[in-house]
Amino acid sequence: MSLPDGPLAVDSTRTGRLDLYAAGLSALCLVHCLALPLLALSLPLITGVSENPLVHRALVLLAAPATLWVGWQSLPVSTQRTFFLTAFSGLALLLISAFVEPVAVYDEPITVAGSLLLAFGHLWRWRRYRSNASCGAAAEA
């Protein structure tokens, strides 16, 4: 028995999208019901950890080797000026905000500026590398 063609006919594409939408809402509900109470319970712990200067210093010390390694891979400087300028300026700001006590009053804005510069530098380099790789692949084809 086939389904009729008319106002009650089933559109499989539309039904599939509605199924994905409904499944997504169900998953969102599950996350809301399970994760938010756990997050609320852990807020005092998260607040205590986030205010600890040792956490900031540890994160900077994790970011520094990655940035230095990528910088080493990006040599010579003349081909990657934007990366070096933004990433190493950002890293310098992060190091200053983490380890120079007199600027502790301005810790948050310096950290945010440094993080944005560092992220921008890495994203710029990644995007440039990706576009160069796709140009090379197109030239080989």
Neighbours of 116 (CB within 10 A): 13
Question: What pLDDT, in 10s, does the model give residues 5-40?
Answer: 555 455 556 656 777 777 877 777 777 777 777 877
Let me know whether 16 and 66 are in one domain: no
Distance CA 66, CA 64 (A): 5
User: Are residues 69 and 103 both part of a single domain?
Assistant: yes
pLDDT digit string, tens, across residues 103-115: 988 988 999 999 9
Q: Rounded to an integer, what distance in angstroms lies between the CA atom of residue 18 and that of residue 90? A: 44
Total number of domains in the chain:
2
Read off the tokens for 101.
């006590």
Does the pLDDT at position 139 exceed 60?
no
85 vs 130, which has greater pLDDT?
Answer: 85
Same domain, 13 and 80: no
Based on the domain organization, do 89 and 108 belong to the same domain?
yes
Domain that holds residue 94: 52-141
Q: Output the six-digit token pair for 132.
A: 């160069």
pLDDT of 4 higher than 90: no
H/E run at residue 16: helix 12-50
Range list of H helices, 1-141: 12-50, 53-73, 81-99, 107-140
Instruction: Determine the Cα–Cα distance for residues 53 and 7; give it in Å rounded to an integer.
Output: 64
* Predicted confidence (pLDDT) per residue in 59-88, tens digit: 899 889 988 888 888 888 888 888 899 999
Are residues 80 and 130 both part of a single domain? yes
Residues 127 and 61 in one domain: yes
- 114 in the same domain as 65: yes
Say if residues 68 and 90 touch (Cβ distance below 8 Å).
no
